Amino acid sequence: MKDENKKYGETAWEIVKDAENIGSRLPGSVGERKFADYMGAKLEEIGIKAKKEEFGVSPRSSIGGIPYAGWVGIILSALTYFALNNFHIWFAMAFIGIAMVIWLVASCFLYKKWFDMFFKQKISQNVYGELVPEDGNYDYTIILSGHTDTSWNWKHSENASKYPEKPVYGLITTYGKVGFGAVCVFLMVGISVAMAIIYGGLMFNAKWAYTAVSSNSMNVFAVLLNFIPVITAIGSSFVAMWNDSDEETASKGAMDNATGCALSYAVIKYFKENPDKMPKNCRIVDCNCGSEEAGLRGSMAFTHMHRNDDLTKNAWNINIDSVADKEYFEVVIKDDWQGCRFDTDLEKMFKDTFAEMGIESKTNGCIHNPVGGCDSTPMTRAGIKSVTLAAQNPMLTWYYHTFHDKAERFEAETVGTGFDVILSVIDKIAAFQEENGFNGPQKK
């Protein structure tokens, strides 16, 4: 880290440790609110008015509810034995299975809000502050964002902490259990739907249904159905125990994502204390988003609330999410599951910065987010130029989304390097803006 910036790196590191001391910060929880208030107080401390915007969130309607899919698999496995004696039960099982799959894809994979109304609601919040030029005039906005909440403890990943030096063991343990469990859940859904179709055909005297029921294959399958549910129930249980509901065991979130909030604050503090370094005609916004782990709900709420004002007009977003693993500095350029490609101008700025600073990354400084999503997706969809800065091993690790996510695991210097990277990219945004006067997202 540059010597002149060490003060701000230290500021960010202190925030990371304070966040860990607050403890778990699940979406909509007291812990999340405490950290949001803490970040608001930090803004007020340097003379920036903190604004809080509350919104409703259903924490278990998205990835927090994945264990429900496991319970559906267990229930369907148990009901199979009743359905063997009463075929009408297959119809109920098929309905339950199909409803679960639709919810799983829409809410857990695509982060849609369609099913939120069916889950318990809590209150989350975004807290942000604006730093405007001394003359009050600006032509564009740079939003620095990080999320205040943390994840539920992923039990299978946490179990891999027994082999911290042999990550392959953890991958086998995690992917093996969950993969087998997912197969079992979908197998039971498939069996339920298939049996409902066959017996539905019988009810309407369909010839093909009578042929299917009287076939040797069906006779063999009927025998297997006495044993398959035992196996699928065991596999489904691995999905049911995917994450804890207990706040006590939830992630402490030092890396994910106290580092993002800490760096956003450190940067706005830097410009507040060094107004001569402020980019020309630029407003800087420090945005602490709530409930990212519940399906990007905070950034969705932020872009929705400001869709008609200048916070989303001619705006750039540097989203910061998990800066801790010094060998994995990277720019996240796409959320694959969300089908959202981020801004190519910012992508190039980050790659150029990595090259200029001599940062070598095992991911070559650039990745797609293969599963889930990050706060750059709502920002991009709102017309804001956005990418996500991360420094995190992209493999599923024993400290990702577990209570092992603590500051003792990584170095303050890594967070400080993140600060230098962000300042350099902001300089490039300023040069781009002055040269081109670009007013909106780049057309793809």
Residue extents of the structural domains in the chain: 3-58+122-152+248-436, 64-110+160-240
**Residue 177 contacts residue 238 (beta carbons within 8 Å):** yes
CA nearest to 13, candidates 266, 251, 325: 266
**Residue 11 contacts residue 3 (beta carbons within 8 Å):** no
What's the CA gap between 393 and 63, in Å, rounded?
21
CA nearest to 173, candidates 162, 184, 182: 162
Per DSSP, 324 falls in state -
CA nearest to 114, candidates 95, 99, 93: 99
In this structure, which CATH number among 3.40.50.300, 3.30.70.20, 3.40.1280.10, 3.40.630.10 belongs to the domain 3-58+122-152+248-436?
3.40.630.10
Gyration radius from the chain CA atoms: 25
CA nearest to 18, candidates 3, 37, 4, 46: 37
333 φ, ψ to 5°? Answer: -110, -5
**Residue 316 contacts residue 140 (beta carbons within 8 Å):** yes
Per DSSP, 95 falls in state H
Q: Which helix or strand (DSSP H or E) is residue 348 part of?
A: helix 344-356
What's the CA gap between 52 and 99, in Å, rounded?
36
**Residue 66 contacts residue 236 (beta carbons within 8 Å):** no
Q: Strand 140-147 vs strand 315-323: parallel, antiparallel, or unpaired?
A: parallel
**Residue 210 contacts residue 200 (beta carbons within 8 Å):** no
Interior angle at CA 414, CA 402 and CA 368, nearest 5: 65
pLDDT score recorded for residue 29: 96
**Residue 298 contacts residue 365 (beta carbons within 8 Å):** no
What's this model's pTM, rounded to 2 decimal places? 0.93
Q: Which residues of 401-431 are buried (b: 16+ CB within 10 A; e: fewer)?
A: bbbbbbbeebebebbbbbbbbbbbbbebbbe
Quick one: tokens of 422?
């962000």
Alpha helices by DSSP H, 247-343: 259-273, 297-305
CA distances (Å), origin 50, targets 15, 47, 186, 296, 304: 17, 9, 47, 21, 19
| Average pLDDT of adjacent 10-residue blocks, the chain of 444 residues | 85 97 96 98 98 96 93 97 94 97 94 94 98 91 97 89 73 83 96 96 92 90 94 96 90 96 98 94 96 96 94 93 96 94 96 96 90 93 96 89 95 96 97 75 40
Neighbours of 337 (CB within 10 A): 18
**Omega within 30 of 0 (cis) for the link into 319:** no
Quick one: tokens of 440?
């909106």
- SS3 at position 313: coil
**Residue 356 contacts residue 398 (beta carbons within 8 Å):** no
**Residue 288 contacts residue 278 (beta carbons within 8 Å):** no
pLDDT score recorded for residue 439: 57
Neighbours of 444 (CB within 10 A): 6
